[in-house]
Structure 1
Amino acid sequence: MIDRSMVTTAFELPGYRAERSLGVARGIIVRSRSVVGSIGASLQTIFGGNITLYTSLCERARQDAFERMLREADALGANAIIGMRYDATEIARGITEVLCYGTAVQAIRG
């Protein structure tokens, strides 16, 4: 598996050079809110502030998409990912797609 320190949002990795680009690696996850979670989050909105139920749902979705991207890049033979980004789209009410993507590369020191 690719070491997390070898993933960057920049287009270069300090101390390394991309010897070979292996294409785009992506991880995608589609999540929906549960009825219980939606009710709990609605109650939290009454009091204002951070809606922790949605925060944890979003964080889990991003983490899952990130892990899937790492597995795909690893399968391509990469040891690093540059230009990593997240994107999210609401597919339907309460259903969100989270995409994590970047360029899978073979990076060498130097």
Structure 2
Amino acid sequence: MLICTTHSVAGREVAETLGLVRGATVRAKHVGTDIVAGLRNLVGGEMKGYSSLLAGAREQALDRMKAEASAMGADAILGFRMETSSIMNGASEIVAYGTAVRLS
């Protein structure tokens, strides 16, 4: 599945626009991660627990978006974007979205 942030692919034409596809996940922090992050905040540096949590969430949202596009018969997703928002204290939503298309 080709995924582009652009609205076109060099050398290819959009044969059919299939529609919006998206994938989302909500992840919550673990209290242990918060404790380690609090200590890391004192000395500085990367908060690896949070980095790992968000990386996994991004991949899951991306995989869900690709699965939705595949089910529609798409071979590409154009105009890809990813957003995050806070749902509640300690929980975030990651949403991946774009336009599913067939290329010629």
TM-score with structure 2 setting the length: 0.95
CA apart distance, 1:88 = 0.7
| Equivalent of residue 56 in structure 1, options 30, 34, 52 | 52
Match of 2:6 in 1: 10
Does residue 76 (structure 1) correspond to residue 72 (structure 2)? The answer is: yes
Q: Within 5 Å, give how 1:71-110 maps onto structure 2.
A: 71-108=67-104
Whichever residue aligns with residue 90 of structure 1, its letter is S
CA RMSD between the two structures: 0.8
Whichever residue aligns with residue 59 of structure 2, its letter is Q
Tell me which moved more, 70-79 or 39-48: 39-48
| Count of aligned residue pairs for this structure pair | 104
Match of 1:31 in 2: 27
**Any unmatched runs of 5+ in structure 2?**
none
What per-residue deviation string (whole Å, max 9, x for no partner) do you get for residues 48-94 of structure 1? 12211111111111111001000000011100000000011101000
**Any unmatched runs of 5+ in structure 1?**
none
Cα distance in 2, alignment partners of residues 50 and 36 from structure 1: 16
CA apart distance, 1:97 = 0.5
